[in-house]
Structure 1
Amino acid sequence: MNPGVFHACGHDAHMAMLITVSEIIQRNKVLLKNNIALLFEEAEEIGSGTPPICDALTQFNIKSIWGIHVEPDVQAGLIALNEGPIMAGSADINITIRGAGGHSSRPDYCHNPINAVAAIVQSIRTLWVDNIPPDSRTSFAFTKISGGTELNIIPDEVYLGGNLRFFDRSKAELIIDKMKTRISCISREYECAVEFTDTLFESGGITCNDVELCKKVKSKMIDNGLKDTIISIPPLYSSESFSHFCKKYKCIYAFLGNGSDTNYPLHSSNFRVDLNQLPLGIKATLSYIEAENSILMK
């Protein structure tokens, strides 16, 4: 426990729904045709909890996996259940620009990496306009610049980092190649060297729902009186560690509406879970279990 620290993403609500589902499963276990594993993921915030779970699941014959998350951008009383992509993949870009530092009184003796970084940041903005198709469904932002120690010293190197979001890995790889080419050219222009490290595609793959499984679960939800709660939404550019499961199994990742006129976004210190919505999330989860077991639970 970290006093005063609040992740503000609704994970306590997710666990509450899963524990409630486990109690209902226990009451109906004689009806089940398949074993059911309940997955409680640690360290979701940094994306390191899912790979160990994937390793542990290799000993079982996994048919499919369901996940559900509260979402303030979806109106309360609704379940977002997309057929196909629902969340973007993520790639981290790490760049070190190395020049020749010195004293600020004689910048002409130096190759200032800060100047190169300033030019790179501006140039990548035009790269997006001039070279990236508008229908590429990608986004990129530089998110970190670090360099220098004193106001009268030109540093030897500067770190520059950013993050790319995408729905097509091949397009993402092409974009990163274009970025590297332009960054290398600008670095040479400023007589600096450049190093690219750890372009991490594994930090977050595309979260993509299995189409046939979605149709199957939607049908069961309709049977259970939830027809008016089902919607589709434009895929989100945020990323999710659940994507690790999507690479190996048929999956569904659903969003439980938590939105209202006064609600705040996830990770805001003002975000609050609407507890009145949890029964709907439980019913949707039970509909998935019923669909995969061809049963009706009580």
Structure 2
Amino acid sequence: MGFLVLIRAFLISNLLVFCSLPICSDASFSSVSASEIPEKFLNLAKSPEVFDWMVSIRRKIHENPELGYEEFETSKLIRAELDKLGVKYKYPVAVTGVVGYIGSGEAPFVALRADMDALSMQEMVEWKHKSKNPGKMHACGHDAHVAMLLGAAKILQEHRESLKGTVVLIFQPAEEGGGGAKRIVDAGILKNVKAIFGLHVSPGLPVGKVSSRHGPLLAGTGFFEAVISGKGGHAAIPHHSIDPILAASYIVVSLQHLVSREADPLDSQVVTVAKFQGGGAFNVIPDSVVIGGTFRTFSKDTFVHLKMRIEEVIIQQAAVQRCNATVDFLSSEKPCCPPTVNNEALHQYFQNVAGDVLGISNVEHMQPLMGSEDFSFYQEAIPGYFYFLGMKNETKGKFPSPHSPYFEINEDAFPFGAALHATLAARHLIEIQTKTPLIRDDHHDEL
């Protein structure tokens, strides 16, 4: 009996000592439940160490905007920060892209993506960190996207020993019409990756809120350019000419009929002619006219049909006016982008995680938009989910929409984006491990 009392006393004393030990800042996920990860990561993202670091990175990138496939300095900055964090990466991928790896280097794999190219426009916002590259500006928030993904990388790297697999960080070039995502996919980066997540800042959504939906979110988009050739001459004797301006005018009107008179009203489509160039004098009919524009749909079948009809209308309407026409869909320069369609299972997963990070009342449902995103190339290859992150703050005034020379970023949104990135990846790895057996043959030698 005395021996049992002695053993009991020994066990109790050791248990008390163990319980009094402090929990280190990078405690493993096993020390907290999956539901506690969101709060922990959000607190880390809000800490001055992470938040101020993200802000400084974003401002450096904003000062030095680079167009698609020209993001050499941006890529250099990203690689320097990953080196400081001790994150392994591949470079170059798709010309200027960087792909980092955090975790075990083994399956399962989940990916996070940020685009990093700027737009060809002159910044009109006067502030300390205004673009130093004339005619180039981060007018769509890609500088913020990079900063938040790096913030997520910092958080995940501190917990790398506890990740139940590998997080793939994709810093992608040329989202603005250059098909950078397609090149990333073609490079084989998504091999064995189970899911991918991406975000975009939204000036119309309050800070601390997100919005998305399952199914079609953004439209597929294509571009076209047509040359209508006639016979130039003096404006005073038009009967000696074949007027390509008149022919092009008929073509523009006829193209609008494709949506108003041929499309199912419940099948959303857009055809816009935004380019019309011809002639340079008031009294001279030119030899040719160039028109160009974009077309958008939510259905791949509709997209193919609309593309065919655009070409038919341009060529045949030109012929009616005695002109010739050639149509170029610019597939090499501006690859057609498929619709952005969110995976239904990932939608439910996102709702749960975002609700835990932000509060369920801050997770909103949105209607589809006719804008486009080359994130859709990833979604054609693997399950993917894309969402919008709020950055509106009424006290700071109205934020102009993306692609405006007056576009601004509310940096207060950064902790929410970084925490969501990190939590979506970390918890998804846990869920995959729970649902499916490990495949140890899948690995990345970078780690």
Q: Same fold (TM over 0.5)?
A: yes
Task: Report how far residue 199 of structure 1 moved.
Answer: 6.1
Measure how far apart 1:105 and its partner are. Answer: 2.9
Residue number among 254, 257, 264 corresponding to 2:400 in the alignment: 264
Residue 225 (structure 1) shift: 5.5
Verify: 1:214 aligned to 2:347, yes or no: yes
Q: Distance in 2 between matches of 1:60 and 1:121?
A: 44
Amino acid corresponding to residue 288 of structure 1 in structure 2: L
Q: Is contact 1:82-1:209 (8 Å) kept?
A: yes
Alpha carbons of structure 1 residues 128 and 213: separation in structure 2 relative to 1, 3 Å:
closer
Query: Cα distance, 1:235 vs. partner?
Result: 1.2
Query: What SS does structure 1 have at the residue aligned with 2:384?
Result: strand
State the match for 1:3 in structure 2. 133
Task: Name the aligned partner's letter for residue 374 of structure 2.
Answer: S
In the alignment, does 2:406 pair up with 1:273? Answer: no
1:2-41 aligned at under 5 Å gives the runs 2-4=132-134, 5-41=136-172
CA RMSD of aligned residues (A): 2.2
| 1:129 has 2:260 as partner | yes
Contact 1:217 1:287 in 2 (8 A): no
1:181 aligns with 2:316: no
Q: Deviations over 1:140-175 (max 9, x none)?
A: 110101222443332222111110111012112223
Please report how far the alpha carbon of residue 133 of structure 1 lies from its aligned counterpart in structure 2 after TM superposition: 1.9
Q: Deviations over 1:104-155 (max 9, x none)?
A: 2321111111111112222333443222221121111101012224433322
Structure 1 CA distance for aligned equivalents of residues 222 and 357 of structure 2:
39
| Structure number, greater radius of gyration | 2
TM-score (norm 1): 0.90
Amino acid at match of 2:406: N
Q: CA deviation at 1:280?
A: 1.4
Query: Larger deviation: 251-260 or 214-223?
Result: 214-223
**Cα distance, 1:265 vs structure 2:** 0.7
2:431 is aligned with 1:291: no
State the SS of the aligned residue for 1:204.
coil
Alpha carbons 1:78, 1:229 under 8 Å: kept:
yes
Q: 2 CA distance for matches of 1:67 and 1:59?
A: 14
CA distance in 2, matches of 1:259, 1:114: 44
Maintained 8 Å contact 2:220/2:303: no
Q: Which amino acid aligns with 2:338?
A: G
- CA, structure 1 residues 108+45, in 2 after alignment: closer, same or farther (shift >3 Å)? same
* 1:235 equivalent in alignment to 2:368: yes
Relative to structure 2, which stretch is displaced further, 22-31 or 99-108?
Answer: 99-108
Q: Give the partner amino acid of 2:372.
A: S
Spell out, residue by residue over 1:172-210, the C-alpha distance to the aligned partner (whole angstroms, 9 max, x if none): 222333333333332222111122222648332211111
Which segments of 5 or more consecutive residues in structure 2 lack a partner in the other structure?
Answer: 1-63, 65-131, 432-447
Question: Which residues in structure 2 correspond to 1:47-126 (within 5 Å)?
Answer: 47-58=178-189, 60-126=191-257
CA distance in 1, matches of 2:157, 2:190: 23
Among 184, 188, 203, the alignment partner of 2:336 is 203
Gaps spanning 5+ residues in structure 1: where?
none
1:146 and 2:282 correspond: no
CA contact (8 A) 1:147 1:157 kept: yes
Moved >6 Å (runs of 4+): none
Greater CA drift, 181-190 or 64-73: 181-190
